[in-house]
Amino acid sequence: MKKFVYSMLLFFIIATSSIFMGCVSNGEKFTDRLIDVENVTDREDDGKEALVFEKIDDKDEYALIGFIGLKMKKIVIPEKFNNMPVTRIENNVFKENDEIEEVIMPNTITSIGRYAFESCISLKIIILSKNLEEIKYAAFSRCSKLENITIPKTVKTIESYAFYRCLSLKAIDIPNSVTSLGFGAFYSCSSMLYVRVSATLQTINSKMFCDCTSLKSMILNGSITNIGMEAFLNCSSLIDVVLPNTLTHIAERAFEKCTALPSITIPKSVTYIGVNAFYDCINLSEVKLGKGLKKIDSGAFMGCTSLSDIFIPKNVTTMGHNIFSHGNENLTVYCEAAQKPNDWMDNWVNSSINVVWGSSLQQ
């Protein structure tokens, strides 16, 4: 009789598991939804806890798709299920679980799905698979107690907002295997002190380190060609930025409100500085512009109240509105051009700012 009741209980759990656990996504086909009965444990309230797997269609592999029971504090994902490797953690599996404190993954896992651990607000420790290849969209977003994580050297892709608002995360080393790092991957990691960027990465995407208010230094590697919109917006503790000679494009608001930044050297490879790129960098007192620069867009250095002088190379053929304005009244702008080029807006500079044409100042 007990065996019959237990079998019926398992049947009920299997039949209703999609209500309580992460869902299969992306339209992929799975078969044989199964529960890891061997690892079922009794809780104090006699409830049952178990991981739930599905076999990946056309593969001798399983994906972790959910769990039964909401009180597990430590998750140890098995390497195999039904003698087949567990290779994926599917979307939403542990999303918004506020009990889990530790997760240990086997080295068979190659993919972590979208929102897999999103808002696991008690998660402090996570050991990733040494063969992990991708961390998908917002996989660890809002894991507010996660302090450290080691990204394996096998990871190729970290999608957008993967670590958004991991408020306790202090450091991140992005290995050279990572060739794609999505928008806002570390957005609002307000305790972040140190970042090492992959040597193969070519773009710092939009909002990547936005609101990382504790970040003090950023040394970018020699492969970066583009810094995206708001990439370092409001990094208010940033005092040291080294830009590579491969960089060509600094986008809109890229360093806006980096209020501690004292100086910046724009390499000669840079051709464009975007709208409000250094807006309100109130301690920026030294700016060196490279001679390859062609366009400075509107408001690029507006509100840089500590800037007393700047040299504009003659290759700058286009200037937007109010490049220097609102607090730049004590600034002197030395222009290598003999007179205002045709493609400089008439109001490129506040009328109260001193402009010297035909300057031969050297950097």
Q: What pLDDT shows up at residue 70?
A: 60
Question: Which of the listed residues 186, 210, 225 is the one where a domain comes to its end?
Answer: 186
Closest CA to 272 of 299, 300, 244, 293: 293
Q: What pLDDT shows up at residue 25?
A: 36
339, part of any domain: yes
Q: Is 256 helix (H, G, I), strand (E, B) or coil?
A: coil
Task: Say if residue 261 is in the same domain as residue 296.
Answer: yes
Task: Say if residue 163 is in the same domain as residue 237.
Answer: no
Q: What pLDDT shows up at residue 328?
A: 77
| DSSP structure class, residue 37 | G
For 327, the token pair is 């607090």
Q: What pLDDT shows up at residue 360?
A: 86
For the chain, the domain total comes to: 2
- pTM assigned to the model: 0.86
Burial class for 199, CB neighbours closer than 10 Å (0-12, 13-18, 19+)? middle
328, part of any domain: yes
Q: What pLDDT shows up at residue 69?
A: 72
Q: Are 327 and 304 in contact (CB under 8 A)?
A: yes
Which residues 6+ apart lie within 8 Å of 262 measured at CB? 239, 283, 284, 285, 286
Q: What pLDDT shows up at residue 45?
A: 34
CATH number at residue 102: 3.80.10.10
Domain that holds residue 272: 202-363
Q: What is the maximal distance between C-alpha atoms in the chain? A: 98
Task: Say if residue 48 is in the same domain as residue 117.
Answer: yes
Q: Mean pLDDT per 10-residue run, the chain (363 residues)?
A: 37 40 37 42 45 92 86 90 96 94 97 98 97 98 96 98 98 95 98 94 97 96 94 98 97 98 98 98 97 97 95 97 85 95 94 91 55
Task: Say if residue 8 is in the same domain as residue 88.
Answer: yes
Task: Say if residue 275 is in the same domain as residue 345.
Answer: yes
Task: Say if residue 224 is in the same domain as residue 177.
Answer: no
For 266, the token pair is 């724009």
Task: Say if residue 256 is in the same domain as residue 172.
Answer: no
Q: What pLDDT shows up at residue 48?
A: 56
- How many helices (DSSP H) and strands (DSSP E) are in the chain? 1, 28
User: What separation, in Å, do the N-terminal and C-terminal C-alpha atoms of the chain show?
Assistant: 88
Q: What pLDDT shows up at residue 220?
A: 93
Task: Say if residue 165 is in the same domain as residue 255.
Answer: no
Task: Say if residue 13 is in the same domain as residue 112.
Answer: yes
